[in-house]
Amino acid sequence: MSALQALPGSVPLRATVPFLSLLLSCVSAVGCAGSPINEPPAVDPAGGSSDSSVRSGAKPAPESAAYEWQLPPGFPPPALPEDNPMTLAKVELGRRLFYDTRLSDNGSYACATCHEQALAFTDGKARAVGSTGQMHARGAMSLANVAYAATLTWGHPYLTSLERQAQLPMFGDSPIELGLRSQGELEERLAAIPEYSESFAVAFPGDEVPINLANADRAIASFERSLISGNAPFDRWLMTGDDSVISDAAQRGFTLFNSEKFECYHCHGGFAFTDHVIFADEAFPQVLFHNTGLYNIDGRGGFPVPNTGVQSVSENPADMGRFKAPTLRNIAVTAPYMHDGSIATLSEVLDHYAAGGRTISAGPNAGIGSQSPFKSNFVRGFRMTEDERSDLLAFLESLTDREFLENPAHADPFR
């Protein structure tokens, strides 16, 4: 596998079809756990009510330096909201807020509690647990490359803003995540912390009252957008053509991944290894959801309530069991798998797709997933040898970006 294709103005790229075709088209052209929730009421987008926002008393601060993206080869610029351009000060403030347990009602949880850097910003649990101990219906999704996510969480087609999404774990009560009671409570807490008076003023120098919920949302979203992962061994092999970077098995696995036999690339293609992406100046954002035959509990495609995917939002029966395809970047460190963590290992995930859907023989969720009427046409089943299994697993493991998992710029600033 030594054939290389040289492209004008780029490093040599391996001529390997579906992945590259989407990658090149991109160049040319997170509640946090995604549980079905009752969203908190919308807050004042200007930053809060006059009786709850607290003036910082800080002197006018200089404009913060713009954030310079260090994007991997093949990654297009992320799409950014007009009212929240990236700056260094906002990213750093967002990092502190992301790791600060004082943003939970009982002081025990932070965003980072369910999104650990070493686990690609997941938590290793089948289903997330909130600050009060409440078990959530779904697992915490990875935040790797969330800047490119067309929608947030596992199955919410209308939640497209990281700024808006940040409020769901703060104030949502079904399930409870951080458990904050009100916008005023959050703003008063932040204003009482001396270091935040200065950091909010620097991050939002034009605001008379910089400490407010809207700005906290903007800062957290800015930090989350900085979580770019694209320097795994696979990437170095793809871009340099150095066959010593990944094993022969991983190279064979990549070929299998892009084959019509296994169909993986249809839902997990492109630079983000998902079909659910948006980026700057993109003409046609990809917003796709899929039913993979994980459940069929009534013989008519049913999923366990309330975990019914997009259907729980749209109330359209045809959306039953449809969820977003998560990124495969760093997938080897994000077990267990599927929206509810019901598959323990990557090898078992391959078994699920090989069978064309999961069969559960007994219990309340019993059913033959391969017979679901709502199952994606791409989940057709296949025969897989043990050598092919090993090669696919080797490829998936080559997507682990250790630099991302250990980058101090993403780490807990309080340690």
> Are 335 and 344 a contacting pair, CB within 8 Å?
yes
Residue 202 has pLDDT above 70, yes or no: yes
147 closest CA partner among 412, 339, 327, 407: 327
Cβ count within 10 A of residue 102: 14
Band of pLDDT at residue 286, cut at 50, 70 and 90? confident
Q: Mean pLDDT of all residues in the chain?
A: 88
Per-residue pLDDT tens digits for 130-165: 999 999 999 999 999 999 999 999 999 999 999 999
Burial class of 194 by CB neighbour count within 10 A (0 to 12, 13 to 18, 19+): exposed
Tokens representing 232 are: 């795994």
DSSP code at position 117: G
Residue 61 has pLDDT above 70, yes or no: no
Q: Residue 149 forms beta bridges with which residues?
A: 277
pLDDT of residue 64: 74
Residue 23 has pLDDT above 60, yes or no: no
CA distance 20 to 74: 9
Lowest mean pLDDT segment, chosen from 1-10, 35-44, 74-83: 1-10
pLDDT of residue 4: 32
> At the top level of CATH, which class does the domain 233-402 belong to?
mainly alpha
What is the rounded radius of gyration, in angstroms, for the C-alpha atoms of the chain?
Answer: 22
Q: Which has the higher per-residue pLDDT, 397 or 65? A: 397
Q: What is the mean pLDDT of residues 314-320?
A: 97
Phi and psi angles of residue 74, each rounded to the nearest 5 degrees, phi first: 90, -5
Per-residue pLDDT tens digits for 215-237: 999 999 999 999 999 999 999 99
Query: pTM for the whole thing?
Result: 0.87
Phi and psi angles of residue 14, each rounded to the nearest 5 degrees, phi first: -70, 130
pLDDT of residue 48: 38
pLDDT of residue 32: 55
SS3 assignment, position 303: coil
Band of pLDDT at residue 33, cut at 50, 70 and 90? low
pLDDT of residue 291: 98
What distances in angstroms separate CA 227 from CA 21, 32, 149, 240, one per listed residue?
Answer: 24, 15, 12, 23
DSSP code at position 355: T
Per-residue pLDDT tens digits for 259-279: 999 999 999 999 999 999 999
Band of pLDDT at residue 283, cut at 50, 70 and 90? confident
